[in-house]
Amino acid sequence: MTELLVTDWRRLSPRMLLIHPVQEVVRAAPALLGLLIAGTSSGGHGPLWSIAGVGVTVLLGTLRYFTTTYRITPEHVQVRKGLLQRKVLTVPRDRVRTVDVTSNVLHRVLGLARVEVGTGRSDRKGGGDLKLDALGAPEAARLRVELLHRQAAGAGVRETAGVRETAGLQETAEAPATRADPAETELAALRPAWIRFGPFTLSGLITLGVIAGFASRLASEGDVDLREVGPVRQMLGWFGSLSLPMEIAAAVIAVAVFVAIASTFGYILSFWGFRLTRHSSGTLHVNRGLLTTRATTIEERRLRGVEVSEPLLLRAVGGGRLIAVATGLRVGQGAQRGGSMLLPPAPRAEAESVAVRVLGGNGTDSPVTAPLTEHGPAARRRRFTRALGVNALVIVVCLPLWKWADLPSWTWITALAALPATALMAADRYRSLGHTLVPGYLVTRWGSLVRRRVALERDGIIGWNVERSFFQRRTGLVTLTATTAAGRQGYRVQDVTLAEGLRLASAASPGLLDPFLSDEDHPSRPYHDDTAISPSLG
Amino acid sequence: METTTLRPPRHRVSRTAIWYWTTRAAIGWLVLIVIQSVFILTRSDALTLRVSILVATVVLALAHLAVMPRWRYQVHRWETTPEAVYTQSGWFKQEWRIAPISRIQTVDSARGPIEQLFKLANVTVTTASAAGPLRISGLDRETAGRLVDELTATAQATTGDAT
């Protein structure tokens, strides 16, 4: 293992000199295409500027190869970069939490891989992460092993690794599966049958957006009138001959079919060959991707829990995803981009059983299947008043404006028509609400458009926020937030009664809240009892 | 039957904070009112509507300035124990935050221009979670300084990377 320690400054792979120009040209494709179609005769310097821009970025990309070097010392990972402003990024090796190895098609053709080293600084956007774009694939794989598997490498390495690593080893040894197997245990692998969930992921909407963006750039930069293109004109002609309801129906069907197909392709592209494995040294590996392959490694001692997320459409067909809640892995804006996906859209039962395997408990009182405590009638009322209240407010504002200020009538008609849907959603949002405590984990569930059930390790809970709006005061409810360094940084138990919320918090973090609690012997004076909380408000 | 509640934290913030909050809110309202006045002076159409909106703004501003700072002062409280920091803040929407000392990452004290005017300071205690900074605003400078020293000392005594 020691020969892998890179102590002198090293360059990225020289093969990157080939990739950069191609990448930049692909990115500028709409402009170039426009240029080709329109020719130079149509005048205007837009395309020329685009070309010049491409030239500059190609040049800068090429220079990046010469200015970027990296090295790995026993304590640090360092990257030196920058042309005019030289920068040295240093990450202590014991702060390395994730290593992400990505190769897109170009990288794969040339045998390269991009390495991204994640640290736990999830509170700062984009800060603290090291990117090496790109290394030779074997080099990248070695680097990944080197950075994350130090504690497994035997006595010699463990000496230098110190106390904390030994503690991490013990933590992971709790899961029995890691002991039995010498190296890797497979926890989940993609089954082709899961592709049936593809159409329900709606990832195709993004494709639609990209195509629309591409077309509009082509039209503006290349001066192409899309209506002049033969097939498009025929389509528009046929479309124009339909009646309005038919037009709407045709458009909706076209978009739905397109999105479904694109989503399925998207699913195959991102998740083909998906494999989730556990390495005996205490890491989880996720490998996936058809064209662009991606390998993510998560240290299990950084894992603070899991999230079963069910977007509405996926929930309707019985599917769900599994997302890791880990420090150093940011959740949000598309979990697959954050690299925290533990299972792509799959049958919900599958997501639950993978969660059990990942968290390593027995299946009976697993945090992902344990029954949840409902939040009660007050919470239900609050869902309905909030949902219907907003709708009613819109109608109340729009009606007089329509009557006296020429507001188009569809505004309040839409709001009125949306009422049943809002009510349904309020009911569903209430049904989603739930919480419980199982040994070792706090469990909370919320949401309707995306229903999420989070199992958060109690040790991962840092502190507690108890929030109460004026209206929640009246109904005796609070929103409890368990703050954590992992995932979304805070997990809410929405609209729970104050007493139940405090019971939950003090059971999850024993002793923390005790000095600040007071037991009241007077029940049922909900409003005036508030004097106990803020003395002069009563 | 017993009902468990949170008792309020022990210490109030400085009384001067009322004036600090008033000034801060007043500046925001003033900007809004000035913009509206400029509009009324420069353009003459739909004058009644504009003036009535301006009057509504002024009334709202006065009500806000009369109620918010005092209400806030009644709510804002803080307390530290050897184990935890505990704050209560807000007015219309109130919030309690509890963080164990052992999980504290940074303790910052800041003085904005308006705070300097009233010789006040705020203290922000951050943990490894982006969702959980505890902010105590409207402390007098001496208390803020003492609090920072005290928290820094206790936080240093604990080990681990606090995640």
Show the tokens assigned to A159: 């000496």
Q: What is the pLDDT of residue A351?
A: 92
Residues B90 and B149 both lie in one domain = yes
Which of A396-410, A414-428, B97-111 shows the lowest mean pLDDT across its residues?
A396-410
A374 pLDDT more than 80: yes
Which one-letter DSSP state was computed for residue A85?
A: S
The DSSP line for A24-50 is HHHHTHHHHHHHHHHTTTT--SHHHHH
B96 → chain A, closest CA residue: A466
Q: Which candidate, A508, A490, A498, A363, places its Cα nearest to that of A437?
A: A508
Which one-letter DSSP state was computed for residue B7?
A: P
Q: What is the pLDDT of residue A175?
A: 37
Residue with tokens 């990117």: A131
Share of chain B above pLDDT 90, in %: 50
Residues A384 and A263 both lie in one domain = no
CB-CB neighbours of A127 under 10 Å: 10
Which one-letter DSSP state was computed for residue A486?
A: B
Which among B49, B73, B97 is the end of a domain?
A: B73
On whether residue A46 sits in a domain, the answer given is yes
Show the tokens assigned to A476: 């005796």
B62 pLDDT more than 90: yes
Residue B129 and residue A536: Cβ atoms within 8 Å? no
A120 pLDDT more than 60: no
Question: Is the model more confident about A520 or about B132?
Answer: B132
Q: What is the mean pLDDT of residues A205-234?
A: 74
Candidates A164, A498, A504, A516, partner chain B, best to mutate (most B CBs within 10 A): A516
Are the beta carbons of A129 and A117 closer than 8 angstroms? yes
Residue A512 and residue B100: Cβ atoms within 8 Å? yes
Q: What is the mean pLDDT of residues A490-511?
A: 91
Q: What is the pLDDT of residue A295?
A: 87
Residue A513 and residue B74: Cβ atoms within 8 Å? no
User: How far apart are alpha carbons A319 and A17 in whole angstroms?
Assistant: 43
On whether residue A360 sits in a domain, the answer given is no
Which residues of chain B does A532 touch, with a Cβ-Cβ cutoff of 8 Å? 5, 7-8
Q: What is the pLDDT of residue B162?
A: 56
Q: What is the pLDDT of residue A331?
A: 57
Which of A116-125, A207-216, A339-348 shows the lowest mean pLDDT across its residues?
A116-125
Q: Which candidate, A452, A433, A443, A421, places its Cα nearest to that of A378?
A: A433
Residues B107 and B139 both lie in one domain = yes
User: How far apart are alpha carbons A27 and A128 in whole angstroms?
Assistant: 27
Which range in A13-17, A397-401, A518-522, B17-21 is most confidently predicted, on average pLDDT? B17-21
Q: What is the pLDDT of residue A402?
A: 83
On whether residue B149 sits in a domain, the answer given is yes
Q: What is the mean pLDDT of residues B118-141?
A: 89
Question: Is the model more confident about B86 or about A172?
Answer: B86
CA distance B136 to chain A (A): 14
Which range in A6-20, A83-97, A432-446 is most confidently predicted, on average pLDDT? A432-446
Residue A463 and residue B127: Cβ atoms within 8 Å? yes
Residues B62 and B127 both lie in one domain = no
On whether residue B67 sits in a domain, the answer given is yes
Are the beta carbons of A304 and A187 closer than 8 angstroms? no
Neighbouring residues of A439: CB distance < 8 A, sequence distance ≥ 6:
A361, A365
Which of A200-204, A305-309, A316-320 shows the lowest mean pLDDT across its residues?
A200-204
Residues B69 and B97 both lie in one domain = no
Q: Which candidate, B25, B23, B28, places its Cα nearest to that of B120?
A: B23
A284 pLDDT more than 70: yes
On whether residue A170 sits in a domain, the answer given is no
Domain of residue A93, residue span: 2-148
User: How far apart are alpha carbons B17 and B134 in whole angstroms?
Assistant: 17
Pairing of strands A441-446, A76-81: unpaired
Domain of residue B129, residue span: 77-157
A137 pLDDT more than 80: yes
CA distance B111 to chain A (A): 23
A437 pLDDT more than 50: yes
Show the tokens assigned to A98: 């994730």
Residues A448 and A427 both lie in one domain = no
Question: Is the model more confident about B32 or about A232?
Answer: B32
Q: What is the pLDDT of residue A530?
A: 36
How far from the centroid of its chain's Cα atoms is residue A123's Cα?
A: 15
Which residues of chain B does A488 touch, with a Cβ-Cβ cutoff of 8 Å? 131
A505 → chain B, closest CA residue: B98
Residues B106 and B153 both lie in one domain = yes
On whether residue B1 sits in a domain, the answer given is no
Q: What is the mean pLDDT of residues A405-415?
A: 80
Which range in A20-24, A193-197, A528-532 is most confidently predicted, on average pLDDT? A193-197
User: How far apart are alpha carbons A516 and B6 in whole angstroms?
Assistant: 6
User: How many residues belong to chain B?
Assistant: 163
Which among B26, B42, B73 is the end of a domain?
A: B73
Q: Which candidate, B152, B147, B154, places its Cα nearest to that of B10?
A: B147
Rounded to the nearest integer, the mean pLDDT of chain B is 88
Q: What is the pLDDT of residue A293?
A: 86
Pairing of strands A490-497, A477-484: antiparallel
A47 pLDDT tier (thresholds 50, 70, 90): low
Q: What is the pLDDT of residue A337?
A: 52
On whether residue B124 sits in a domain, the answer given is yes
What's the number of domains chain B is made of?
A: 2
A259 pLDDT more than 80: yes
What's the number of domains chain A is made of?
A: 4
Residues A70 and A38 both lie in one domain = yes
On whether residue A279 sits in a domain, the answer given is no
Q: What is the mean pLDDT of residues B73-100?
A: 92
A314 pLDDT more than 70: yes
A451 pLDDT tier (thresholds 50, 70, 90): very high
Q: What is the mean pLDDT of residues A336-343?
A: 70
Residues A13 and A138 both lie in one domain = yes
Q: What is the pLDDT of residue A155?
A: 32
Which range in A71-80, A221-230, A290-299, B113-122 is most confidently predicted, on average pLDDT? B113-122
Pairing of strands A293-299, A283-288: antiparallel
Q: What is the pLDDT of residue A132?
A: 85
Which residues of chain A does B158 touch, with a Cβ-Cβ cutoff of 8 Å? none
CA distance B61 to chain A (A): 20
Which among A148, A164, A182 is the end of a domain?
A: A148
B163 pLDDT more than 70: no
Residue with tokens 């800041």: B110
Residue with tokens 């307390």: B79
Rounded to the nearest integer, the mean pLDDT of chain A is 78
Q: What is the pLDDT of residue B79?
A: 92
A157 pLDDT more than 70: no
Neighbouring residues of B22: CB distance < 8 A, sequence distance ≥ 6:
B65, B69
Q: How far is CA A123 from CA A79, A131, A329, in A?
A: 21, 18, 11
Q: What is the pLDDT of residue A322?
A: 92
Which residues of chain A does B96 touch, with a Cβ-Cβ cutoff of 8 Å? 464-467
Residue A463 and residue B163: Cβ atoms within 8 Å? no
Q: What is the pLDDT of residue A364?
A: 66
Q: What is the pLDDT of residue A335?
A: 41
Residues B81 and B142 both lie in one domain = yes
How far from the centroid of its chain's Cα atoms is residue A300's Cα?
A: 18
Q: What is the mean pLDDT of residues B60-72?
A: 94
Question: Is the model more confident about A154 or about B38?
Answer: B38
Q: Measure CB to CB from residue B163 to each of A120, A523, A534 and give the nearest one.
A: A120
Q: What is the mean pLDDT of residues A403-412?
A: 79
